[in-house]
Each structure stands twice: as structure tokens, then as C-alpha cells.
């Protein structure tokens, strides 16, 4: 697997976390790979063969060649049909809402073709340019021109939502919503409503994903002491950490390490 990341233009750096590319030559012995929630929304362009997403043990759907993957609330398996060559934009949790009017709660746990969000003609033109580009740098230039043009047409994200996301990102999801709102509970309903529209999931769900992401990075960095990881990630105790881990990933932390189905997720998190 060849996975690389690239930083965005400064004008987009508050919205786009990074760009990434992935190349995986086809091998009949390759295992299904589990994709884990990370709190981000991604726009992905599949430049070669198709990719399956499993919806049950044996049933699957085929990813669109150009799509947006909304917030994920659960892990899922993918499997390439042939060679993988992907180019993607990873948005901060509040980033993608700046480019579309569709409520992001409609995109949760789904792959949405970009033509459904940007219109058929602009989407086809963008997909063609990205596919025909001869290098990653040219693809980055194409997508940044597209995003900056869209950004100039869009309204900015609601400030309370951005403030909440910033606080969750700064504390790896461990700050409570009451702390963020300074116990102004009259704002909570407004925050919940706007959060689902502009982020896709609730503040509590995003906080849980970000905290798990922090713990997972510690686990992959070589810290096998689950009590220490739970404490550093501000879980109530080790049992709480393991419960959240199993909820989002479907295995215990010890089962995760060395699992062939987790090779791609391990690559992303490292």
C-alpha cells in the first residue's frame, strides 16, 4: 500500500485538513479492510477499478467513482475489485458544510455521488479533470480552484457550531458540551439542531469519535497499557474505553492489533 498526504493551500487550511492518495496493486489474497470513524468528511475520486462496501457479511454496494462520504457512526468493510488508485480531500468536521446547502445529516454513513451535491454538469466536469490530470499536484490545483470558487458563493458556517468543533478538536473530544456552552443550556437545542445540519452528527457523537481517534493513535504508537491509554484519553476507566472501542470498531483493542482486516486503518492512523 502506498498512502501519502498533502497539505492544502493556506486559504483552505482552516477547512481542508489534508489531501491524500492511496495506491494498492490488486492481489487476490488481499483481505477486506475495515474503515473506522474519524470525525471527518471526505470527497473521494476513484481513478482505477471499483471498490465494494459491505453492508452485511456477503452483500455489498459499489462505491461511486466520485463521491462524498459523510460522517461515519460505525465501522464498515471495503474490498477492491482490482487496482486501487484514489485521490481524496479530507475536510475538518465543519469544513464541508461551507460548500453545499444539503443538510449533512442526510450524508451520514452513506456514499453520495458528487453530482447529487454539486449538480450533474459541474460534477462531471470536475471528475473528468481529476481523472485526466497527470499528477497529484495537478489534481490538488484542480480541486482547490473548484473549492475556492464554491467557497466564494457560500455562506459561512454557524459560529456556535464552529466554536464547539474547535473545542472538541483541541481537547480530542474530552470536553463536555456543558463546558463549551458554559452551562448556557438554552443554547443546547439550537446547537444540536445546527450541528446535525452542518456536521451531520451530534456534538456528543463527534466527541466520542475524536476521543477514540486519540486513543487509537496511542495504541498504534506502541502503548499497550490500556489503563494508561484510557487515563490519557480521559475515559472514566478502562472498561469505558473498551466499550467505546468495541462500539465503533467492532473488536477489543487487543484484537485490533495485528488484524489483517485493519491494515488500511492502521496505515491511515499512523
Contact 200, 226 (CB under 8 A): no
Render pLDDT for 6-62 as a digit per residue (tens, 0 to 9).
999 998 998 999 999 999 898 888 788 888 888 999 999 999 999 999 988 889 999
Quick: pLDDT tens for 209-259.
Answer: 898 888 888 888 876 688 888 888 888 888 888 888 888 888 888 888 777
Domain CATH number, residue 32: 2.60.120.10
Is residue 254 in some structural domain?
A: no
pLDDT reading at 74 higher than 70: yes
Total domains in the chain come to 1
pTM of the full predicted structure? 0.84
pLDDT digits (tens, 9 = 90+) for 180-216: 877 676 778 888 888 888 899 998 899 988 988 888 8
- Rounded Cα distance, 32 and 40, in Å: 22
* Residue 67 predicted with pLDDT over 90: yes
Give the range of the structural domain holding residue 44, as residue numbers without chain letter.
Answer: 2-153
Is 148 a member of any domain? yes
pLDDT of residue 250: 83
Within a domain: 29 = yes
Q: Is residue 74 part of a domain?
A: yes
Is residue 210 one of the residues assigned to a domain?
Answer: no
Q: What are the CB-based long-range contacts (under 8 Å, 24+) for 141-150?
A: 143/19, 143/43, 143/89, 144/8, 144/9, 144/12, 147/12, 147/15, 147/16, 147/89, 147/99, 148/9, 148/11, 148/12, 150/98, 150/99, 150/118
What is the average pLDDT score of the chain? Answer: 88
What's the distance, CA 249 to chain centroid? 14
Q: Is residue 201 part of a domain?
A: no
- State pLDDT tens for residues 130-159: 999 999 999 999 999 999 988 766 555 677
Amino acid at each position: 500500500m502506498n498512502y501519502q498526504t498533502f497539505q492544502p493551500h493556506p486559504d483552505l487550511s482552516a477547512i481542508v485538513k489534508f489531501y491524500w492518495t492511496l495506491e494498492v496493486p490488486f492481489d487476490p489474497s488481499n483481505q477486506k479492510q475495515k474503515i473506522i470513524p474519524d470525525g471527518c468528511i471526505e470527497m473521494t475520486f476513484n481513478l482505477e477499478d471499483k471498490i465494494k462496501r459491505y453492508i452485511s457479511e456477503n452483500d455489498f454496494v459499489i462505491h461511486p467513482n466520485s463521491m462524498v462520504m459523510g460522517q461515519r457512526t460505525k465501522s464498515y468493510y471495503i474490498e477492491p475489485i482490482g487496482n486501487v488508485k484514489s485521490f481524496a480531500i479530507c475536510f475538518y468536521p465543519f469544513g464541508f458544510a461551507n460548500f453545499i446547502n444539503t443538510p449533512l445529516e442526510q450524508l451520514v454513513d452513506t456514499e453520495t455521488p458528487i453530482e447529487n451535491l454539486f449538480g450533474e454538469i459541474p460534477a462531471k466536469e470536475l471528475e473528468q479533470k481529476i481523472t485526466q490530470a497527470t499528477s497529484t499536484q495537478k489534481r490538488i490545483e484542480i480541486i482547490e480552484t473548484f473549492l475556492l470558487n464554491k467557497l466564494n458563493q457560500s455562506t459561512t458556517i454557524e459560529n456556535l457550531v464552529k466554536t464547539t468543533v474547535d473545542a472538541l478538536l483541541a481537547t480530542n473530544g474530552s470536553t463536555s458540551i456543558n463546558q463549551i456552552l458554559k452551562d448556557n443550556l438554552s443554547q443546547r437545542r439550537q446547537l444540536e439542531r445546527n450541528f446535525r445540519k452542518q456536521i451531520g452528527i451530534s456534538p456528543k457523537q463527534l466527541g466520542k469519535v475524536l476521543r477514540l481517534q486519540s486513543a487509537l493513535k496511542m495504541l498504534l504508537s506502541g502503548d499497550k497499557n490500556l489503563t494508561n491509554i484510557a487515563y490519557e484519553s480521559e475515559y472514566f476507566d478502562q472498561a469505558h474505553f473498551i466499550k467505546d472501542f468495541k462500539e465503533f470498531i467492532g473488536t477489543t483493542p487487543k484484537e485490533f492489533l495485528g488484524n489483517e482486516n485493519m491494515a488500511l486503518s492502521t496505515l491511515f492512523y499512523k
